[in-house]
Each structure stands twice: as C-alpha cells, then as structure tokens.
Amino acid sequence: MRLGIFVGCFVVVAGLVQFGVLPKGLGDSNFIWVLLLAIVISAPLSFVLLRKQRDEMSAQIVGKVDGAKSRLEANRAQEDGVIQ
C-alpha cells in the first residue's frame, strides 16, 4: 500500500512539473527532483492513511509475542518441575 501511495504521488508530482505548476529541477535533475518530492509527500501521507493497517499489524504481532512468551514460560516451568 505504501508503494501505491508513492507511485500515486510520483505521477501527480510529475504531472504538476510538466504543466509548470511546480518548478523543474536544475539541468538534467528533473527526474531526481520529482522522485525526492514524491518521497517527501508520500511519507506523511502513508503515516496518516495507513494508520489503521499499522495498528492491526501491531495487534497481531503483540498477540504472537505474548503467545511465544507464555509457551516459553510453560516450558521453563516444566523444566523446573523435572529438575526438582
């Protein structure tokens, strides 16, 4: 999804540069200018627009980590019971 937002920003910025709304880069640096401007615009957009997906992924990771911790603790308790 982040790549899609970046590509969309790149297309919009390239169009704005071609129509003269945004300034062109110096000399042959037009592509780099458009690329950097698209990165700068897409980063905060991704942060805001993908918040829901980021929160859902975080919840999944927390659940998996908690499950792994409980299994590890169960294994430790089982080993302690065998040793004593």
What pLDDT score was predicted for residue 73? 86
Contacts of residue 36, defined as CB under 8 A and 6 or more positions apart, other chains included, come to: none
pLDDT at 51 over 90: yes
Instruction: Count the alpha carbons within 13 Å of 6 in the hemisphere toward its beta carbon.
Output: 8
* 40 confidence band (pLDDT: 50, 70, 90): very high
What's the predicted TM-score (pTM) here? 0.65
